[in-house]
Every structure is written in C-alpha cells, then in structure tokens.
Amino acid sequence: MQHLKPTSKHGTVMAVSMMKDEAPFLLEWVAHHLAVGFTDILVYTNDCSDGTDDMLIRLEDLGLAHHRRNVIPEGVKPQPSAINHAQKEPLVAASDWVILFDADEFLAISHPSGSVEGMLDDTVAQGANGLVITWRIFGSGGVIDWSRAPVTEQYLRAAPPMWNKGWGVKTLFRFDPDYWKLGIHRPSIKNKWLETDFPETVKWLNGSGRPMEEYFKFRGWRSIRRTVGYDWAQMNHYAVKSVDSYAIRKLRGNVNLKADKYNADYWSLQDRNEVEDRTILRHAGDRARIMADLLGDPVLHRLHHDALDRVEARLAEHRETDTYKDLRASLIEASKVPITRVEAKPPQPRDPAKIAALMSRVEQQAHDTPRPELKPPGTPGWAEGEGDPYVDGPIDRSPEMDLQWVENHGIPLPADPRLFAPETLNAVISGRFERRHARNIAGYLSGMDRVLEIGCGVGFVAMRAVQSGAAQVYMAQDTRAGLIAAGREIAERAGLTDSARLKFSDGPLRLRGDGGATARGVAAYLADFRPHALRIGRARDLPPEVLAAQDLSTLRRVILPVLSTPEADRLRAGYGPVLARHGFTETPDRAASGSLQFDRTG
C-alpha cells in the first residue's frame, strides 16, 4: 500500500497526534490526512481498549503510519507526556515540517492547490517557515443517534467563522529539535536561542497566507481578529459529533484527563451549528478512495468493524441506564443555548513577567516602526469598505431552519446564514448589526416625514426609523425579493405591522436588456411616493448617473451611508456634483456619524 503514501518536495511533512479509544474514527482520520498530503503520520496511544493501538500497529506494518506507546510518568497527563516523547522521537527530529493535532481535528484546505504541498509551496515562496491554522468549531448538526457515516460528511454545520471563541490554532512549521520545543497549539523557542537571532528568523503566516503578528512568536494559542484567516486552510474541530458519540467519549475518559470536558457546558460551547460549511468535502473523493484501500486489508477490515460492533454494543448497554438517559436529555437541552450566551474560560497567560521581558526587544522595534507599517492588511471576510452584508445572489429561505433570534437595537433579527454573509452574521449574533446607522438614523431624518430607501436589504434601518418615530412613513425597497420577504417577517416579529407607516417593495429597478429601466423605476418611486428624504442603501442600485436624470423636486435631503473614509471620498466625488446641480450641498459635520448628508439649499 505504499502507493497511498504521499511524497513532498519539502521533505517529510509529519502529522503527530495522541489518541485513546478512537478506533471507530481512526481510518477516516488517517485516510483524510494522507489525502491532503501528509507524508508521515505518528500517533501515540495510551490505555486503549477498542483496538486503536492494534490498528495503528497494522498501519505501521503497511508503511502508512507510525505508532508509539505513550508511557506516562507519574503525575503527568497523557497529552503532555506524548508531546515530551515526540520531542525526543528520532522520526520527528528528522522531519522537515511538523504539526500536532488531535483525533477530532481534520485539516480542511481551501488553498487553490487543495493540498498541503501547494500551501507549503506558497509559504516557502514568501520566505515563511510556519502556518498558523485556525479552528472551525463543528457541532452535532442536530444528530443524536450513532451512525457509521464518515465524520467529515455527517457534520457540516459550524460556528460562524468570525466567532472568536472558536479561534484556537494549530501550527504547521519547519522543525528543528534543537531550536523548538513542541506544543499542542504552537511550538515555543528554547531558552538558549532567545538572545540570539530570535525572533527575526521566525516568519509565520496565518490561514490565509498573511503574516502573523510579532506577539504570537512569544505567546498565545488563539487567533485574534487581525490574524484570523481561512483562505488557505482551517482546522475542522469535531469535538462533540452526535449525542451518542459524545456519551461514549464521556464514559470512556479522554486523552487530557479533564474532569469537566464532557459536561453540558462544554457541549453548548462546542455544539455550534449556525452556518453550513462544506469546505472539507473537497477532499471526500480522495479520502474515500484511500479508506477503501485501507479496508481492503483483511486485518484493518476486521479491526475496524470489530471496533464499530464494540461501540454499538456498548451503546446498547448504556441506553438502558439512567445515567445515559440523563446525559442525553441534558445534552439535547444544552443544544438550545444560543451562541450569545455561551461562556468560555479565557486563556490564562503563562509567566506574564517573563513574556514581557522576552518581548521587550520586539516592543521597542514596534515603537520605532512608523505607525502605517504596523497596521496589517485587512482580514478578508470582515466586510471592510463597501462589503455587502448579505449573501450574494438570490435569497432562498425555503429550507426549514430552527433559527436563533437576537435583539439588535430593540429589533429581533434571525441568525440566518441564508440571509447574512458570514462576517455580518457575527454582528447579528452579537447584537451589533448596522449599529452605527441604527443609532444615528433619527438624527439624519430630523424633520423628514416621508423617507424612501433604495437598496434597503431587510429594511433594518427603516424599522429603526419607524420604531423611533424618526419617520412618519418609510418606503423600503430592494430588488431582491427574498430580502424583502425576510424584512416583512422581521417587522411583524418586532410588532411593526402598520403598513401605512412602514412599506416594503421588491419592485425592480432594472430590467434585462433595457438600459433605461433603472431610471424609469426610480422615477416611478419618486413620483408616486413623493419622499422628503432619499436614503441610498446600496450605491450600485442608484448610481450618480441615474440619479442625475431624476426629478428630485420633492426631496429636501439625500443620505448616503458609508463604512470607511475612502468610500466616503468616492461617494462624495460621484454624487456631490450631481446633487449640487439639483441644489443640494453637503452638511460636512454629519459624515462623522456614518453617513453623507446632502441638504437642499434655500
């Protein structure tokens, strides 16, 4: 079976893990990581009772993995013990690139190459020697009963990518055993090198191939907003799986010996299902092919199915006990905890005084660096600039979903991934959607009784305006019918049912093949509704050249929401001259509150 083992121009690319009783999932884990391109796999086991160690021994016989017993010294936990053994292991010492991760973690690659090899090609091309890969927390997806289906195909719902409680990392880095001390999340530099050329010799990239910040060379095991990225890779973390699978784990213990790891609080933290993520299915075909080859070996076939039979027999026994029934009920209840109420213990800093001393040189360098150079490039996915807060294309809300509703400025919004882009979903969940515009809309509409908004999305700002009494009548228009349908549902839930005050329209502004349709559509809205104020929610829906041709005689104010200074400058340059010809001038001090405001002079 040597044909299943990848090779790499970068040498030995080693995945190191530690396991206890993972036999039902082991072959999928091995097959997946061979599929994505690891040339070598080393697993430490302790106290296995389900054949995990026997399967690894067979994989070693076949030349596809390496197995070591995790001999645990008294007073040491299993995971640190395995890491200490790996530090001294000749196979690891001889490796060129190393990463440590757990049996419930699967590397998913979005890099164009779809492989570890391609990621390393681009990493090395940038002169970097490490990749810091952030978790994606995958939940149960509502699955309760045990299944033999592959983990990576069965669980496809996860926490929003911008949920910071799920930002633990794993580090793939160029290894030198004399220089580095291994760690489960990231390595640490050995003391004897601290006063030499460290940290200048270390250049790590994040999961989008962007440079990590200097602080991470000294401390931390989590990404922060400025360093998180998933464009190249993410580490899918299946900490819970189904209720049955979770129960089996709790009843057999874990590699970390954490007494509270498998309680309901841990479940509610890890059972996040807010968005669908199918990234890992990119590897499904290769993984299935390799796994089929592995199961073609009669020894692995027997050990794998014996493990499945054993766990199902054990479940059958547990299901008759009150302990299992109580656990199952508590987990199902814990699944209902909304993401806004999930609590997680903050990471504890290690030796803060020592870290401060080690960082003094780097901090001095940072102090001496001109401020613009310190600001990293914007992280993709944060809706910087003119990012649309909604998903691209038509809005399909036909599938039934049990959605969490979160109050944003007094209006409940659904945490619906079919509506909101991933980065926006994070703002909805935290109660901060369009926070600035919602807070300031009353000031922008002072004295304006009738308001028309073009490109309103779900009409959230319109609802805030009507709710606060800032507008007597508000017409909210968007060409995407799905957004308007969602807006009506949200308004009804918020008690804003007076259609004489809040009007929704999905009437088109543009007809295919008819360049004048936009102008005629806007003209109809202006003529029929006769607004006092016009808010242009999306500039592309009503560009300056179309606005220039309109009869704006009923308007006393035009409002253009902005998200950045460059966007404000661009909109000012585009709309300012057009509005000036219609008798409007900008009220300059209003831009500081998040929108450009143009008022009719005289």
**Which residues lie below 8 Å from residue 397, measured CB to CB, with a gap of 6+?**
416, 418, 419, 482, 485, 486
Residue-level pLDDT at 193: 79
How many Cα atoms within 13 Å fall on the side-chain side of residue 301? 6
Residue-level pLDDT at 383: 38
- What DSSP character marks residue 213? P
Residue-level pLDDT at 249: 83
451 close to 475: Cβ distance less than 8 angstroms: yes
Burial grade of 374 (CB within 10 A; 0-12, 13-18, 19 or more): exposed
Question: Higher pLDDT residue, 428 or 12?
Answer: 12
pTM, 2 dp: 0.72
pLDDT in tens, 64-92: 999 999 999 999 999 999 999 999 999 99
Would you say residue 493 has pLDDT above 90? Answer: yes
With H, G, I as helix, E, B as strand and everything else as coil, classify residue 253: coil
**Which residues lie below 8 Å from residue 116, measured CB to CB, with a gap of 6+?**
8, 13, 36, 37, 38, 107, 109, 172
Question: Higher pLDDT residue, 374 or 153?
Answer: 153
Residue-level pLDDT at 417: 80
Span 245-264, average pLDDT: 67
pLDDT in tens, 178-231: 989 999 999 998 887 777 776 788 999 999 999 998 888 877 899 988 899 999
CA distance 27 to 86: 22
Would you say residue 257 has pLDDT above 50? Answer: no
Which of 374-378, 483-487, 510-514 has the weakest average pLDDT? Answer: 374-378
First to last CA, the chain: 84
Would you say residue 580 has pLDDT above 90? Answer: yes
Q: Could you tell me what percent of the chain has a pLDDT over 90?
A: 69
Residue-level pLDDT at 510: 54
Span 331-348, average pLDDT: 76
Q: How far is CA 225 from CA 15, 157, 469, 519, in A?
A: 27, 22, 36, 41
pLDDT in tens, 274-319: 888 999 999 999 999 999 999 999 999 999 999 999 999 999 999 9
Span 465-475, average pLDDT: 94
Residue-level pLDDT at 336: 87
Span 401-407, average pLDDT: 79
Residue-level pLDDT at 427: 83
With H, G, I as helix, E, B as strand and everything else as coil, classify residue 481: helix
Would you say residue 23 has pLDDT above 90? Answer: yes
Q: Are strands 450-454 and 533-536 parallel, antiparallel or unpaired?
A: parallel
Confidence of residue 245 (pLDDT cuts 50, 70, 90): very high
With H, G, I as helix, E, B as strand and everything else as coil, classify residue 90: helix
Residue-level pLDDT at 351: 53
Neighbours of 503 (CB within 10 A): 17
420 close to 200: Cβ distance less than 8 angstroms: no
Span 527-554, average pLDDT: 94
Span 3-18, average pLDDT: 96
Confidence of residue 357 (pLDDT cuts 50, 70, 90): low
Q: How far is CA 385 from CA 39, 327, 484, 569, in A?
A: 42, 47, 24, 12
Span 148-154, average pLDDT: 98
Residue-level pLDDT at 402: 67
Residue-level pLDDT at 226: 83
Question: Higher pLDDT residue, 399 or 39?
Answer: 39
- What DSSP character marks residue 337? S
Which of 53-57, 109-113, 351-355 has the weakest average pLDDT? Answer: 351-355
Q: What is the mean pLDDT of the chain?
A: 88
Q: How far is CA 532 from CA 376, 535, 574, 581, in A?
A: 43, 10, 22, 18
